[in-house]
Chains A and B, each alone.
Chain A
């Protein structure tokens, strides 16, 4: 720096340092805003995901605003005068700078990757070698069956079936995901978890719900005509409430569960609702003990 005092006078250096401090503060503040953009956090995985995302948001803010402030600076202060057609100072490169802006991003992204691998380990969504063809993994307490277009939840031990997923609070539990037809996606935004449900396979997804409430389960892998309507509610309740729900449900007779697709399709058949191109017919609503609801207000 001292060899080129002309290019880096003290006021500029101070200005740059001040700007970096401001930028850092802004980035930290942005990282702290993350919870406001996300649904409530309702599983043991959620805080880990949110923490990682907050950290990434801070880094991203620093990089994005940093780059944009350079662009704004040059647009404001490095414009050619109206009739100035001369060239600027021909600087063709600087190897030190090149090495700097190769090594720093490299270290940065590898640090993010290392942090992420840590988080992956902690979340431990599924076993490390889970690429099973066929039903290799058992241990699911709840069997989740995705269809075009409904969700059915079976509790084999209690002998209960439902189109509303009930889960106990603060207990790790395996969901055995199966599909009858095409690929669906099991996605509960409040849990921050998502897994494709692949026909011909049984995939076990482990979840520990940490907050009581009613949440949305959405189909996250495009599955055909009523993909958007393939939603169900997830009710997280205390272990006692869960057990009493199971025992009450086991005594209820089987009845058709929820399927918005089947309902809309019937409306189209009767002419109440216009139809469009050809479609696969929705599977009939599954027969379940508890249809539940998917229209009550949800927490996320």
Chain B
């Protein structure tokens, strides 16, 4: 403990190892119940799988750089795209967001930890477990699951070798475990937000990130049981010969599509809502202005939750659903534009007339907003039935959702990682590397995903391992963009590792931000505020108002500076 100088005294008194305390990296490999350790565990695991999923994507783009199926066999391509989607959703984006939830929620609401710390750790440790199961499916006879991340029957029920242990069965098992992990996480986050807020922090004074996390986790609680039930029936059809979805046994394959999308459409909001939260946190800090229309931005999240649960059939417009259903679900889908628009306009109004500081975190937030608005306008096009009928299951959809999930959500996650990096590691990141990462990511994203829109309009179906020569031009550009995105990860990881090891020491509040987490030392001690939880006396984002956030704020800040 020779290097303990400059570490907050409370860290050294903590009963168990905590982030930032010296010489205890081993805590990240144990069943640790500290939300801040679990948060970093989630994020590190997720970033590892981002590399795996990204590598698969680059092999796919290597195949698609030429029209013929020549780089890998078609069966291999099908396995690659299935695993790419599955890994990116269940092993990258959900875990990384749960990592942010773990780091941010307790600190932002002044709680010492999550409501159920052991459940929290168990939820995390399921992630590497099902990650290993999913990776192992590459090694079983017959290869991994290769029916897409939707796994629609009957194609997903075709088991060419007839083995009981096959890639598809492992895939369903992994997805079911992921669902259980997410439900455990959701119970924890919702309970923590509802029950463990600091004195004075009414719901109407809660930071928007917590509002959006609450909304997103509510969706998990409502939607996941449908998917899990649907997946269990699929598993039974596959391994014990039931006929829930087998038409030859009187089953209905379209039924699965309903179960699947009843959860998997709202899942998009589970992903994007916390990113809306990140935007709502970052724009006020870096524009030095209060969030414009806080109550509307908070309420819009709940409206999105409600609407997200009644739009799933828009994924099934060509599935043979009746006309009235097409019309009804188109209207509900269109309505989502309204609360989303409220948020976008609120962010613009927050930026308007501000004093912008364009550091890496802010650049990623602005870039994420740019991409999100693009995804939003193509989303409206997809909502309208006749246009959807034409572009459904084409690259137009692939372009649209990669703008959402990479362009907006992942860039928002990058913004969050940079913004809160000093808080949870105690070190500043390098701006130069960060800005390089932003530049490569922003260019790579648009180069990779924009060309997919013209391809889809021309009629190139998604999930193809070969295509007609007229699609070659845009595919070459998309592939180049994908390789650039691969390169963009290098400065990011370099920055994370080198900054954590030897970056400048971070002050408690490097961005001059308002929020309970910035009234903690960097990194925060194990129990956050311990017995000195401040009493919140005003709403968040009081930039320029001179309003203190908590009682005795000046004393707390002075103590932090002296520490």
A residues whose Cβ falls under 8 Å from a Cβ of B: 37-39, 45, 48-49, 52-53, 56-57, 59-61, 63-64, 67-68, 70-71, 74-75, 78-81, 84-94, 97-98, 101-102, 105-106, 109-110, 112-113, 116-117, 119-120, 123, 125-131, 133, 181-183, 185, 187, 189-190, 192-196, 198-201, 203, 216, 218-229, 231, 264, 274-280, 298, 300
Contacts and interface: CB of A to CB of B under 8 A. Distances in A.
Top 6 A-B pairs, shortest CB-CB distance: A189-B459, A277-B143, A200-B247, A276-B73, A87-B544, A90-B544
B396 to A, nearest CB: 10
Given A37-B458, A49-B389, A116-B384, A224 B544 contact: no
B373 A89 contact: no
B443 interface: no
Contact of B454 (A37, A109, A129): A37
Contacts of B126: none
A198 B254 contact: yes
A106 B459 CA distance: 31
Interface of B: 69, 72-76, 78-79, 141-144, 146-148, 152, 154-155, 158, 160-161, 167, 247-248, 252-254, 287-296, 318-324, 326-327, 330-331, 334-335, 337-338, 341-342, 344-345, 348-349, 351-358, 366, 369-370, 373-374, 376-378, 380-381, 384-387, 389-390, 392-394, 454, 457-459, 461-468, 512, 542-545
Contacts of B465: 227-228
A75 B356 contact: yes
Residue in A192, A195, A196, A275 whose Cβ sees the most chain B Cβ within 10 Å? A196
Given A88-B355, A90-B542, A98-B342, A56 B288 contact: no
A174 B148 CA distance: 31
A269 B337 CA distance: 52
A120 B143 contact: no
Given A85-B512, A185-B393, A91 B338 contact: no
Given A101-B341, A116-B330, A71 B348 contact: yes
Contact of A112 (B144, B380, B390, B464): B380
B459 A228 contact: no
Contacts, number: 311
B387 A53 contact: yes
29 contacts: A38-B458, A63-B376, A67-B344, A86-B355, A88-B289, A88-B355, A98-B296, A98-B342, A112-B334, A116-B384, A116-B386, A117-B330, A119-B386, A126-B323, A127-B323, A131-B322, A183-B152, A187-B393, A194-B392, A194-B393, A216-B459, A218-B459, A220-B318, A220-B392, A224-B78, A225-B78, A264-B74, A277-B167, A278-B161
Nearest to A185: B393
Contact of A274 (B73, B79, B386): B73
Contacts of B459: 39, 187, 189-190, 216, 218, 300
Given A109-B380, A216-B468, A277-B146, A120 B326 contact: yes
B138 to A, nearest CB: 10
B357 to A, nearest CB: 5
B386 A87 contact: no
B116 to A, nearest CB: 36
Nearest to B287: A88
Contacts of A198: 247, 253-254, 319-320
Contacts of B252: 133, 200
A93 B289 contact: no
B253 A183 contact: yes
Nearest to B317: A194
Contacts of B292: 91-94
A233 to B, nearest CB: 11
Contacts of A119: 385-386
A237 B320 CA distance: 28
